[in-house]
Structure 1
Amino acid sequence: MTPDDLAGLLDEANHDPWESVSSALATIDGQPHPRVGWLTTHLRATKHESWTAIAAATGTPAPPDDAGLTRLMAWEVGAARALSPQALDTAVEHAGRAFTVAGLLRVNARHTAWHAGQIAALASRDRRA
């Protein structure tokens, strides 16, 4: 896969109009289920951690520390697109596992899609105070 291919996967997981974090969040009307807050906080943290590891391994810019999930999702698409093809083969460790940068970006996209589905499922649930 190329940097553009990986950026496309992340963009779809983050922003696709039908099946993404953004589209799942857009279906929430009113008070969200409490678990949605945990999921969005978790996604932001894992994306930031992944990209911090990628930046350290490749010498590329680190993610902005003050970015929330929405801004970080937009940032990471551009950051993935800016990686060199050689950077994709760079070894990186995340959460105690060894990856290539390309492998970690694929995990990031799968992880994002997984949680987007959870958010979508919770969007239609009754909310309790």
Structure 2
Amino acid sequence: MNNIVLNKFKFNLILDTILLGTSFCDEFNYQFEYEVNEGYGKAFLKTINNTAVNIRLYSLDLTKNFVFISDMPPTLVTVNGKEVYIFRILLDINPKTNERKALVIYHKDASFIHTTINWENAHSSFVPL
């Protein structure tokens, strides 16, 4: 990765595109934090709609884009007063353009998939269930 050394970055993303299922909330505002240092990276989903969740994401690929994925069993969280399971989280950051994309899969059966508007169909084969 050409010894790129970055510090921690925090940013918010609005996930406003539904790929599957029915939303249980009017708006989703996610806060992410990530760090990449010389080929090693980690990220966290810190909050959903200002509710702390602090879910760790692991680096999947750091060559072209910084790609992170959660590695956990379905995890119960509360979003807008409703208990829901988060099944999987993907975060994709282009370090050259700073374009950021995310996908969150909800429920134990992965029946609700929520993404940023710029999540492309090309990523559809990259959604591990």
Pairwise TM-score range, normalised by the shorter structure: under 0.3
TM-score, normalised on structure 1? 0.27
Counting helix residues as a fraction of each chain, which structure ranks higher?
1
Q: Which has the higher contact order (CA 8 A, sep 6+)?
A: 1
TM-score, normalised on structure 2? 0.27
